[in-house]
Chain A
Amino acid sequence: MSSIKMRISAAGDVLDVKSLIEQVMESGRMKDKATGQLIPANYIQTLTVAVNDKVMVEANLSVAVSKNPYINVKVPGKKGDKVTIAYTTNEGKTDTQTETA
């Protein structure tokens, strides 16, 4: 199952895309309480939102974005359009999810 959850509501020619991504957004500054070792950084760096495969939003995130990031953007589109969200972490991990409005 994808780590990206999406809810799209269409209003006229605008799609309100709300998404919740399951990701730890670990900063690399926190210590593991049990071992005293620093927990390595693991967070989303780049994220794109595309409508019908055309990228509309290109975002850069940092560790100052909360754990399990919530992202809300408004893109042009109508019911039936395909919305794709994709991200890449600092470790190079990627995930992508496409949903129909």
Chain B
Amino acid sequence: MQSNRRVFLKGSMAASAVGLAIGAGLLTPRAVMAAAWPQAAYDAKGFDDALKGIFGVSGATESKDITVKAPDIAENGAVVPVTVESAVAGTDNIAIMVKGNPNPLVCNFKFDGAQPFLSTRIRMGKTDNVIGVAHAGGKLYMAEKQVKVTIGGCGG
């Protein structure tokens, strides 16, 4: 009787250990799949800090090869359509920035085979320049476009 009880306890302990291992195993692939979100870059309050955080380099040069399309006047700062395209050869990463927002970095798209083109809708607090920054061959290229915002998109 006593020995049976020992056996049973041992058995259940082993089973729970297996359960834990499976649980951990299920969690890992998901963590690997989703690349870590670059918290520091998105928390950065300075333009250059954000660039450094996302690309590892700062100091972007103005380039005619970068196209930033955005409206001249946006009535609603909560929805500003922006399109950024890069004609610089070897562009692998494009970021959209708004200097005057609480955190200048809006989003960045890493291209691995896709065309260096991205179009989305962003929030702007006030009239400001929308900046498209492209990373190619370890260097940064940028272009900006002013958007006049009638109603800011950050307040409530």
- Report which A residues bind B (CB closer than 8 A): 14, 27, 29-31, 33, 45-46, 49, 51, 54-67, 69-76, 88, 90, 94
Nearest 3 Cβ contacts at the A-B interface: A72-B119, A56-B114, A45-B37
CA distance A51 to B112 in the complex (A): 11
Q: How many A-B residue pairs have CB under 8 A?
A: 104
Chain A residues lying within 8 Å of B79, measured Cβ to Cβ, are 66-67
Q: List 30 A-B contacts (CB under 8 A).
A: A14-B115, A30-B156, A49-B114, A55-B112, A56-B114, A57-B114, A58-B35, A58-B112, A59-B109, A59-B110, A59-B118, A60-B37, A60-B38, A60-B107, A62-B105, A64-B101, A64-B122, A65-B121, A66-B122, A69-B120, A70-B119, A70-B120, A71-B119, A72-B118, A72-B120, A73-B119, A75-B114, A75-B115, A76-B113, A76-B114
In contact, A57 and B110 (Cβ under 8 angstroms): yes
In contact, A71 and B120 (Cβ under 8 angstroms): yes
CA distance A57 to B111 in the complex (A): 5
In contact, A73 and B109 (Cβ under 8 angstroms): yes
Chain A residues lying within 8 Å of B83, measured Cβ to Cβ, are 72
- How many residues of chain B have a CB within 8 Å of chain A? 38
- Min CB distance, A90 to chain B, in Å? 8
From residue 53 to 75 of chain B, which have CB atoms closer than 8 A to chain A?
A: 54
CA distance A60 to B98 in the complex (A): 15
A56-B42 CB under 8 A given contacts A45-B37, A65-B120: no
Chain B residues lying within 8 Å of A65, measured Cβ to Cβ, are 106-107, 120-123
B47 at the interface (CB under 8 A from A): no
In contact, A66 and B121 (Cβ under 8 angstroms): yes
In contact, A57 and B112 (Cβ under 8 angstroms): yes
Chain B residues lying within 8 Å of A58, measured Cβ to Cβ, are 35, 109-110, 112
In contact, B118 and A56 (Cβ under 8 angstroms): no
In contact, B114 and A69 (Cβ under 8 angstroms): no
The chain A residue sitting closest to B118, CB to CB, is A73
Chain A residues lying within 8 Å of B114, measured Cβ to Cβ, are 49, 56-57, 73-76
- Min CB distance, A91 to chain B, in Å? 12
CA distance A70 to B83 in the complex (A): 11
A56-B111 CB under 8 A given contacts A62-B105, A65-B123: yes
